[in-house]
Structure 1
Amino acid sequence: MVTQDQHAVLAFLTNPLSHGDAALNIHTTETHLSVIIFVGSRVFKLKRAVRLPYVDFSTPQRRLEACHRELALNRRTAPQLYVAVRQITREADGRLVFDGPGELFDAVVEMVRFDEDALFDRLAVRGQLTPIVLTELAGIIARFHAEAAIDRHGGGADRIAAVLTTNEESLTVSGIFLPATIATLTTNLWRAFDEHVALLNARAREGKVRRCHGDLHLRNICLVQGVPTLFDCVEFDEALGTVDVLYDLAFLLMDLWHLGLASDANLVFNRYLDERNEVDGLSLLPFFMAVRASIRAHVTAQLASQATGQQRDDLAAEAESYAALALRLLAPVSVRLVAIGGLSGTGKSTVAAAIAHTIGPAPGARVVASDRIRKRCYGVSAQTRLPAQAYHLAVSQRVYAALARNVRVVLSAGHGAVADAVYDRADERDRIERIALETGVPFTGIWLYAQPAQLFSRVDQRSGDPSDATAEVVREQLARDCGRLAWLQIDASSTVAAAAAHIAQVLAVPDT
C-alpha cells in the first residue's frame, strides 16, 4: 500500500539544478521498493513510501533509518559504491534541499554510478558469465559468508516458516495468480518445510544462520573494475537478511537456473563448496531454491499489478514462470553417483562439469575431483602446481581415500555426486562402486578414452588448470595395465562436448 505522495521529492531529485549543474542528464528506473535516479557520476536511491507485509517505508523517518542501514550493511561488500545518506529537508520557504536545517521530508542513499552493462543479469543474457568470473564470484560469496556475523537467536525453521507465511500473503494480494496455483505452490512448500525442520534447526545451532546479503540475485551483483561485487542487500528487515548461508546462496543459483543457465549454477555451487563445508545442508538446496523462486514470483507479480498493457502481461508471465520453477524444484529427484575415469587428457573434468547439473537434485551434482582434493591436501589453490612427490603412490592413495569419503558424505546427505579421477586402478574403481551400493544409490561408471597423440596435445595446451599432468605422466599412465574395465567406455577423441552429450543420453535412460 502506498502511504505518501512522493511526486515533490522526485521532482526535486530529477531537477538538474538540485545537483548544481543545469546540463546534467538525469533518468530514473524503478523497482518494487525503490526509485533509482541516475545523475551524472552519481546515483540516488529513493525508497518508495509503501507498507507491505514484509516492509514498512511508510514515513520519512522509517525511510531515513532504512537508508542508514543500507549504507552500513552494503559497505561490507561494496564500500567503493556506497557514498553517504542524504537527507532531503523542507526549508522555511517551502524549498526542498539536501541536508538542510529544515524538517525531514525524505531521504536517499547516494552511490557511485557504475556501468549498468556490468550487472550480472545483463552479462548472463549476453553469455558473458565466464567460468573465471563465476569462480571468482563463488569465492567472494564464500568469504563473505565466512565473515558474516553469526546469529544464534531463534531457530532456523522459525525463520523459514515466517518467510513462507509472508510469501503466501504476498502471492494472494498480488492479484496475478489463480487461487489453485497459490494453493498448490504453498502446500508443496509447507510439505517440504516439514521434512526439513530438524535440519534447519541443527544448522542454526551450528552457526550457519548469519547476517547475509538476503537478496543475492543476478541484478544485485556487478563487475566493478573487473571484480564481482555484491550490492543492494536487504536492509529493511533483519529477519530477511539473517538467514542460512545456503539460503542466501540459493537466490543466485535459482536465478541462474531460471535463465536456463543450470550448468553455471552448478559451477558456482561447486566452487562455493570448495571453500565452505556445507555438505550437511545439501538436501535443503532444492527447497531453498524453490522458496527463492516463489519470492521472485510474488515480487514480479507486484510489479505486474502496478503496470499496464504489454508490460503488465510480460511481468505476469514472468511471475508465473517463477512459480512454475518453484514447483519443478520441489518435485522429487533421485540421488545417483556417476564416476568418470580415464587417462589424463581425456577431458574428465570438463565432461564432469558439463553433465553435473543434470545429476540428482538441484543445483546438480557435487563434483568431487581428485585434482582439487590433492591441492587442498597441500594447502594451495587449485591452479598451483605441485612438486612431483605430491603424485607418489602413497599420496595418491590418500587422495583417493579422501575422495571416496567425500563422495559418501555427499550421497548420505541426499545429494548427487560425480567422482572425477583417473581411476586407472581396479581397486579404486571397485571402492567407488561399493560406496554407491552401500548408500543405496544408482551407479554409473564412465571410462573416457582417446588416442595417445590427442592426450599429449591436450595436456600440453593446458593452462590455469587444477591438473598438473604432463606428457611424461601420460606416458606412465599409458604403460600401466588398468585391468578389466567394466565401466561404460566412451570415445572422447572428437570433442569433449560430444562425449558429454553421449553420457547425458546414457544417464537419461531410466535405471532398471
Structure 2
Amino acid sequence: MTTHTNSPAFVRFLLESAGGGSGAAVELVQTHISWVFLVNDTVYKFKKPVNFGFLDFSTLEQRRFYCEQEVALNRRLCPDIYLGMVAVCEQNGGLALLPLEQAKDVVEYGIKMRRMPEERMMPHLIERGELGAAHIDQIVDLLVPFYRQAAQQTASGESLARFGAAEAVTMNVLENFEQTKGFIGGGALTKEQFDAISTAACAVLAKPERFQKRIQAGAIRECHGDLYSANICLADKPYIFDCIEFNERFRYSDVACDVAFLAMDLDYHGLDDLSRHFIERFVQVSGDRGLLDMLNFYKCYRAYVRGKIGLFTANDQSVDEQSRRKCLAGAEQYFRLAMRYAADQ
C-alpha cells in the first residue's frame, strides 16, 4: 500500500477527502508534472511545483496562471469536459476544497473536470484490440476543422510563423538532448542511440528550406501539442483533451508535428497499419501533402520527448517503484522507436 508520506499535505488531504464524505474511493494518478485525482465522475488535477526549464510551475501564482490557461485552451476541443478551477484552502484549522470564486487562504490551485468513461479511453481500446479505422476517421474529422480554425497569430497580432522556422525547432530538439545527457547509459538510453538520433536530427535542422516550405504553406498554427492516445477518449464522440498550456513554443508548431505525435503513438502500440491509415486519411481530408516530407523527423522528435518524460517521471522521488519501472521500460521502447525514425528522415 502506498502511503504518500513524501507528498504535500494537500495531496494526502485530497486522497482522504475528495470524495466529499460520500465514501467514494479516490484514485491518484501521477505524471512528471501533475497529481490527478479520480473520484466518481469527477477529475481534479493539480500541478506539481517543478521547473524543468521547458515548464515552470515553481510558484503558486504560476500554477494558478497555467491552470487558467489549461481550462481556456482545452475548451477549444472539448468545452464540456473542463468545468473550471478549484482551490485547496486553509479553513478552520484544516483544509477545504472549494470552487475558485469561494477561495481564500489558498494552499493550491487545481482544475475540475468531468471524468470520461474509463473503458472508452483510447489506450484501453488499444489494449482490447478494439481500435479500428472508423475511430481514426472520427479523430481526423475532428482534427482537420480544428487546425483550419486554429490561430496563426498571437492575441497581440504576432505571426506564429517563426515557431516553425528551423531556428525555433532547433531550440526544442536540442533541449531534449541536453536534458537527457545525464541519463545516458542508465538502462533506457544508450550512447549509441543518443549519438545516432541527435546526428540525424541535426542533419535535418541544417536544411532550413524544409521548414520554410511549411511556413509558406501556412502550416504553423496554435496546435494541441500533446496529441496521443492517453489524451483521447472515444465515447459518444471523440474527446481530445490535456493540450499543452505551459509553453507556447510547444503549442505553436507545424501541424505536422502535432499529427506525427499520434502517428508515432500508434506505431508505439504496434498499430503501424492504423498509423498509416491515420496519415493517409488526414492528408486526404486536409489536402496537406507537405506534412509527409517532415513526418519522420517529427515522429522521431515526439518519440524522444516521450522517452525523456519517462526518464523524468521515473526519477521523481514521489513516484512508487512499480510506476518507476514501468516508466523506464516505456522510455526504453520510445528510444528504440526514435532510432527507427532517425534512419529515415
Give the alignment's TM-score, normalised by structure 2: 0.88
Q: Name the structure 2 match of 1:275.
A: 285
2:222 matched to which residue of 1?
A: 211
Partner of 1:490: none
State the identity %. Answer: 28
Q: How does 1:385-396 map to 2 (within 5 A)?
A: none
Q: Confirm whether residue 118 of structure 1 aligns to residue 128 of structure 2.
A: no
Aligned counterparts of 2:336 and 2:150: Cα–Cα separation in 1: 33
Q: Which residue of 2 aligns with 1:294?
A: 304
The question of 1:233 aligning with 2:243 is answered yes
- Contact 1:145 1:245 (C-alpha < 8 Å) held by counterparts: yes
Name the amino acid aligned to 2:195: A
The C-alpha deviation readout for 1:370-419, integer Å capped at 9, x for no partner, is xxxxxxxxxxxxxxxxxxxxxxxxxxxxxxxxxxxxxxxxxxxxxxxxxx
- For 1:25-55, what per-residue CA distance to the aligned partner results, in whole angstroms no more than 9, with x for missing partners? 2111111211110122211011111111211
1:148–1:210 CA contact under 8 A, matched in 2:
yes
Is residue 60–residue 108 contact of structure 2 (8 Å, CA) maintained in 1? yes
- Counterpart of 1:397 in structure 2 is none
Q: Does 1:258 align with 2:268?
A: yes
1:167 partner letter: N
| One-letter amino acid of the counterpart of residue 256, structure 1 | L
Residue 312 of structure 1: how far off its partner (Å) = 3.5
What is the deviation of 1:6? 5.2
Q: Measured at CA, do residues 207 and 83 of structure 1 come closer, stay the same or move farther in structure 2, by a change above 3 Å?
A: same
SS for the counterpart of 2:315 is: helix
Summarize the Cα distance change of 1:79–1:309 in structure 2 as closer, same or farther, 3 Å threshold: closer
Cα distance in 1 for residues equivalent to 2:116 and 2:204: 40
Whether 1:199 and 2:210 are equivalent positions in the alignment is yes
Provide the C-alpha distance between the structure 2 equivalents of 1:58 and 1:230, rounded to a whole number of angstroms. Answer: 27
Residue matched to 1:499: none
What is the DSSP-based 3-state SS (H/G/I as helix, E as strand, rest coil) of the residue aligned with 2:193?
helix
Q: Which amino acid aligns with 1:9?
A: F
* Secondary structure, aligned partner of 1:160: helix
1:14 aligns with 2:15: yes
Task: Let me know the Cα RMSD of the aligned residues.
Answer: 2.1
Instruction: Note the alpha carbon deviations across 1:52-96, whole angstroms, 9 max, x for none.
Output: 121111111111111110101111111111101112223474544
Contact 2:86 2:110 in 1 (8 A): yes
Alpha-carbon distance, 1:310 to partner: 5.6
Corresponding position of 2:3: none
Give distance in 2, aligned partners of 1:314 and 1:20.
32
TM-score, reference length from structure 1: 0.60
Gaps of 5+ in 1: 333-360, 362-512
Task: Give the match for residue 136 of structure 1.
Answer: 138
Say if 2:89 and 2:107, in contact at 8 Å, map to a contact too: yes
Name the structure 2 match of 1:63: 63
Q: How far apart are the structure 2 equivalents of 1:265 and 1:139?
A: 16
Q: How many angstroms does 1:202 deviate by?
A: 2.8
The amino acid across from 1:20 in the alignment is G
Deviations 1:132-168 (A, max 9, x none): 1111111211111111111324251233112112211
SS at match of 1:15: helix
Equivalent of 2:328 in 302, 308, 316: 316
Q: Corresponding residue for 1:80?
A: 80
1:306-326 per-residue CA deviation (whole Å, 9 max, x = no partner) reads 356565344323212211111
Task: Return 46-55 or 314-323, whichever deviates more.
Answer: 314-323
Measured after TM superposition, the shift of residue 280 of structure 1 is: 2.3
Letter in 2 for 1:35: W
Give 1:246's match in structure 2, choosing from 252, 256, 262.
256
- Residue 432 of structure 1 corresponds to none
Higher relative contact order (Cα pairs below 8 Å, separated by 6+ residues): 2
Q: Separation in 2 of the partners of 1:25 and 1:312?
A: 24
Contact 1:53 1:169 in 2 (8 A): no
Deviations 1:172-227 (A, max 9, x none): 244643444323321221112223x21212322432111110000111111232x1
What secondary structure is seen at the aligned counterpart in 2 of 1:56?
coil
Report what 1:90 is aligned to. Answer: 90
Question: Paired residue for 1:36?
Answer: 36
Displacement of 1:116 in angstroms is 1.6
Amino acid at match of 2:12: A
What is the alpha-carbon distance in structure 1 between the residues aligned to residue 332 and residue 23 of structure 2?
43
Q: CA deviation at 1:240?
A: 0.6
Q: Distance in 2 between matches of 1:172 and 1:165?
A: 11
Seen in structure 2, the aligned counterparts of structure 1 residues 112 and 310 have a Cα distance that, compared at 3 Å, is: closer
CA distance in 2, matches of 1:276, 1:292: 22
CA distance in 1, matches of 2:307, 2:204: 18
**Counterpart among 141, 159, 166 of residue 175 in structure 2:** 166
Partner of 2:198: 186
Counterpart of 1:132, as a letter, is: A
- 1: CA distance, partners of 2:322 / 2:31: 18
DSSP-derived class of the 1:281 partner: helix
**What is aligned with 1:426?**
none
SS of the aligned residue for 1:46 comes to: strand
Alignment of 1:282-361 (within 5 A): 282-306=292-316, 309=321, 311-332=323-344
Task: Name which of structure 1's ranges 153-162 and 46-55 shifts more when overlaid on structure 2.
Answer: 153-162
Distance 1:155 1:80, change over 3 A: closer
Structure showing greater radius of gyration is 1
The alignment partner of 1:300 has SS state of helix
Answer yes or no: is the 8 Å Cα contact 2:88–2:95 preserved in 1.
Answer: no
Matched, 1:149 2:151: yes
CA contact (8 A) 1:53 1:166 kept: no
**What's the secondary structure of 2:36's corresponding residue?**
strand
Do the aligned residues in 2 keep the contact of 1:254 with 1:289 (CA within 8 Å)?
A: yes
Contact 1:48–1:57 (CA under 8 A) maintained in structure 2: yes
Deviates more, 1:52-61 or 1:244-253: 52-61
